[in-house]
Amino acid sequence: MQELVNIFEAYLSKSTRIFSNKEALTSKFTPGKILHREEEITALAQILSPSLKMEKPSNVFIYGKSGTGKTLVTTFVCNQLENFSKKKGKGVKVLYTNCKMRKVADTEYRLIASLCRKLGRNLPATGLPTYEIYKNFFELLDREERIYILILDEIDRLVKKCGDEVLYNLVRVNSELKKAKVSIVGISNDITFKTRLDSRVLSSLGEEEIIFPPYDAIQLTEILSERAKIAFREGVLEEGVIQKCAAYAAREHGDARRALELLRIAGEIAEREGSLKVLERHVDLANEKMEREAVIEVVKKQPLQSKILLFSLIKSNRKKQKVYSGDLYDEYVNFCKMIGIKPLTQRRVSDLLNEFDVLGLINNKVISLGRYGRTREINLSIPQNLVEEVEKILKVGLGI
């Protein structure tokens, strides 16, 4: 017991040398003031404020790439709204759901069930018909006179997976309810997402639109500095560290989340090294680490068939730079036969390749070779220095 306390004490005192409040660098943290989003904040607040008079606000669509502050701004505004309404004795209630969360809210059934859960009723994860879930949901909503604001984060994922039926139902809920009213704030990374929607849904859901532009390097620097003031002890950041983080992130469409993470990891590396300062060198290391982990973790998590496919892909890539889907499929089938596993169809492999593309492991380009058909040109986008490590992981995963 005694010794453990010492260990913990040592850890505590050590960890405070660099950080004073590491939380401030995570996406959970809501800063006191949100920089460079004044316009968006007022726009959203104006759109939603009719709720304070118990009128249903317009539905809103919010677009912007990842790390542009969509979620932050939305939750900020909605929290303020909820608090204000509570003070004034009005019944505005905000329900936030992230539609991407696997096994939580990524299908029609699960989304509605998770909303019910937020309203205080637990429903089974499966087994009930969907209409039953809706019935529960309506019942819960209509208990009292209220304005509900549903925030559906990463709504594009939901639609991609399950179609827009859910949205259609949600848009219509107001006609089913007697006391309560519901308006929807949809947040999406994908601007083209609109085109996949049914026109009825679109016209109702897209009543208002707010677009979040990416941050530029200067804005990122300011955001980082502000957070760093809270997160780090004074004077531990070397000149140029923040600029460097901002520059790395600006290269990636101005993703503030990434910039913050980079800064945090740089700090952690410095800390582990026992350094008293975070140096620019640490940022480079952090960037390397992030890139590496992005690849390695993804590869590890792949199911068997995907691993086989990826392995075949690396092998083909060794032989020649340009890999075409047809050749890859042959290679893959051969390899499956070799290790005695039933190969998937070409159709499925095609989808898996698309998934790899989304994960950033490869780069697909559909090209036409005229008379010689149409195919996909596949480029491995795993950095050279990681390919070997990836291969090793795959070999272990496949038992060879």
Partner DNA sequence: AGGTATTCACATGAAACTATTCTCTGAGTTAGG
Partner DNA sequence: TAACTCAGAGAATAGTTTCATGTGAATACCTGT
Quick one: 154 or 271, whose CB is closer to DNA?
A: 154
Quick one: 122 or 384, whose CB is closer to DNA?
A: 122
Report residue 283 as tokens: 């940022």
* Nearest approach, Cβ of residue 348 and DNA (Å): 4
- Secondary structure string (H, E, C) spanning the chain: CHHHHHHHHHHHHHHCCCECCHHHHCCCCCCCCCCCCHHHHHHHHHHHHHHHHCCCCCCEEEEECCCCCHHHHHHHHHHHHHHHHHHCCCCEEEEEEECCCCCCCCCHHHHHHHHHHHCCCCCCCCCCCHHHHHHHHHHHHCCCCCEEEEEEECHHHHHHHHCCHHHHHHHHHHHHCCCCEEEEEEEECCHHHHHHCCHHHHHHHCCEEEEECCCCHHHHHHHHHHHHHHHECCCCECCCHHHHHHHHHHHCCCCHHHHHHHHHHHHHHHHHHCCCCECHHHHHHHHHHHHHHHHHHHHHHCCHHHHHHHHHHHHHHHHCCCEEHHHHHHHHHHHHHHHCCCCCCHHHHHHHHHHHHHHCCEEEEEEECHHHCEEEEEEECCCHHHHHHHHHHHHHHHCC
* Nearest approach, Cβ of residue 210 and DNA (Å): 28
* Nearest approach, Cβ of residue 313 and DNA (Å): 12
Quick one: 28 or 371, whose CB is closer to DNA?
A: 371
* Nearest approach, Cβ of residue 364 and DNA (Å): 7
* Nearest approach, Cβ of residue 369 and DNA (Å): 6
* Nearest approach, Cβ of residue 28 and DNA (Å): 25
- Going across the sheet that includes 374-380, the strands are 323-324, 374-380, 362-368
* Nearest approach, Cβ of residue 400 and DNA (Å): 19
Quick one: 2 or 345, whose CB is closer to DNA?
A: 345
* Nearest approach, Cβ of residue 136 and DNA (Å): 11
Quick one: 368 or 384, whose CB is closer to DNA?
A: 368
Quick one: 43 or 112, whose CB is closer to DNA?
A: 112
Quick one: 303 or 399, whose CB is closer to DNA?
A: 303
Please tell me the distance from the alpha carbon of residue 183 to that of residue 51, in angstroms, as a whole number: 9
* Nearest approach, Cβ of residue 226 and DNA (Å): 38
Quick one: 247 or 298, whose CB is closer to DNA?
A: 298
**β-bridge partners, 153:** 98
Quick one: 99 or 242, whose CB is closer to DNA?
A: 99
Query: Binding residues for DNA, per CB under 7 A?
Result: 102-103, 106-110, 124-130, 161, 303, 305, 324-327, 329, 342, 344-348, 350-351, 353-354, 366, 368-376
